[in-house]
Amino acid sequence: MADYKIDDTVDITDVVCPVTFVKAKVALEELDDGQILAVRMNNGEPVQNVPRSIKEEGHQILKLTDNGDDTFTLIVKKVEDE
Amino acid sequence: MAKVDYATLKKGGFMRQKQKNNFSLRLACVGGALTAENLKKIAEVAEKYGDGYVHLTSRQGVEIPFIKLDDIDDVTADLAKGGCRPGVCGPRVRTVTACQGNTVCPSGNINSYDIAVKLNERYFGRELPHKFKFGVTGCQNNCLKAEENDVGIKGAAQISWKEDTCIHCGVCEKACREEAITFRDGKLVIDTQKCNYCGRCAKSCPVDAWDVNEAFLVSFGGTFGNHISKGREFLPLITSEEQLFRVTDAAIQFFADHANAGERFKFTIDRVGEEKLYEVLKGAYDG
């Protein structure tokens, strides 16, 4: 994660679908265009689906990192709607 | 009164009710799609000739119950003005069912409705030894339950990795529910034994580092009536529409050639032999 300057972090390991995506989406809304969010999520259903949902919202996914504790961190660059 | 030809009425979608001289009129309805114009006319006919309601069938169709025998010609003519045609029942190709597919659904791998329309044009109403059902589902989520059908078609993604575009983010590795993707020394490796062509890797990829070809998985011999059996996939991935229709042509012809009257496809396959069907299907598959 050292490769990216993280502007904000959100932990969605305490919620389940569909709130996982909603929580990440709300965190992204607080950022400015081009800023970077780190999203910590659980293995399984969240890591299968949340990255795709964020992509479909139009944001740019940079990296998914295995934290080694059955959680993953997704690095996302916010892309503002035109 | 002249003798009522129930077989002809049934063929024309008029289903005899338990109430004497009353029919539930089944309408042709491909993939569950009806226009607003169709719906207005259906509502009008249900109020004027029926009991003011419709039944939505298990195969995405509409039936208008309590149509009176004497009104059948008037009802058929009136419905035609709203673009509605009667459906079919009995030993022939039935309504082709479909999900909304990739024109609407983010998960869809194929345009299910378009395939259903093409199947319908090709086969609808074709006379056979018994009923024959096609269903088209857009992806592995299988909302349309492909394997319930005599021939079930499932949208698939034939994928190949574009190394030059890939940013090695690792999203696809986790998006894959079959654990078919691993990165080894910076190279993506697909376990083709595990891949089920769901396409989630490509759909989740942030930089679209995949070539995706619309493909089909086809199952044969599904039936969910008095006997229940799941359709089986005999063939590898079908990679073009042309190939798909060669295979469906071969399957329906196999049924026409070998089935006994009143025998569903599954039981024809069991009686004649899976290997016989496979031979025919493989021939069509290879072209």
Q: Give pLDDT tens digits for A40-57.
A: 999 999 999 999 999 999
> Residue B2 has what pLDDT?
59
Q: Hey, are the CB atoms on B169 and A62 less than 8 Å from each other?
A: yes
| A13 located within any domain | yes
User: Could you tell me the CATH number of the domain that includes residue A38?
Assistant: 3.30.110.40
Chain A residues lying within 8 Å of B106, measured CB to CB: 56
Domain range annotation of chain B: 6-81, 97-157+212-286
Interface residue of B140, B169, B183 to substitute, partner A, most A CBs within 10 Å: B169
Count of the separate structural domains present in chain A = 1
Mode of pairing for the β-strands spanning B134-137 and B97-98: parallel
3.40.50.800, 3.30.413.10, 3.40.50.720, 3.30.930.10: CATH of B97-157+212-286:
3.30.413.10
pLDDT tens profile B154-208: 999 999 999 999 999 999 999 999 999 999 998 999 999 999 999 999 999 999 9
What is the rounded distance in angstroms from the CA atom of residue B184 to the CA atom of residue B136? 37
What is the rounded distance in angstroms from the CA atom of residue B185 to the CA atom of residue B164? 15
| A31 located within any domain | yes
> Residue B9 has what pLDDT?
81
| A2 located within any domain | no
| A27 located within any domain | yes
| A43 located within any domain | yes
Residue among B170, B173, B204 minimizing CB distance to A55:
B204
Chain B CA closest to residue A65? B170
What is the rounded distance in angstroms from the CA atom of residue B102 to the CA atom of residue B235? 23
Distances (CA, A) of B71 to B87, B103, B138, B209: 17, 39, 40, 60
Judged by average pLDDT, the poorest of A13-22, B143-152, B214-223 is A13-22
Check residue B92 and report its DSSP letter: B
With an 8 Å Cβ cutoff, is B141 touching chain A? no
Q: Amino acid identity of B16? A: R
What residues contact residue B226 under an 8 Å CB cut-off, 6+ apart?
A: none
Residues of chain A with pLDDT under 70: 1-2, 82
Report the CATH architecture of B6-81.
2-Layer Sandwich (3.30)
pTM of this prediction? 0.91
Judged by average pLDDT, the poorest of A2-11, B35-44, B163-172, B244-253 is A2-11
Chain A closest-CA separation from residue B106 CA (Å): 9
Q: Hey, are the CB atoms on B171 and A56 less than 8 Å from each other?
A: no
**What is the overall mean pLDDT for chain B?**
95
> Residue B6 has what pLDDT?
81
Please state the three-class secondary structure of chain A as a single string: CCCCCCCEEEECCCCCCCHHHHHHHHHHHCCCCCCEEEEEEECCHHHHHHHHHHHHCCCEEEEEEECCCCEEEEEEECCCCC
Sign of the dihedral defined by the CA atoms of residues B200, B205, B206, B208, in that order: negative
| A82 located within any domain | no
Q: Do B115 and B133 meet the contact criterion of CB atoms below 8 Å apart?
A: no
Full domain range(s) for residue A20: 8-77
The two structure tokens encoding residue B97: 């069912």
Mean pLDDT over residues B58-85, rounded?
95
- The complex scores an ipTM of 0.87
Q: Hey, are the CB atoms on A51 and B177 less than 8 Å from each other?
A: no
Chain B residues lying within 8 Å of A62, measured CB to CB: 167, 169, 206
> Residue A4 has what pLDDT?
87
Chain A CA closest to residue B208? A55
| A3 located within any domain | no
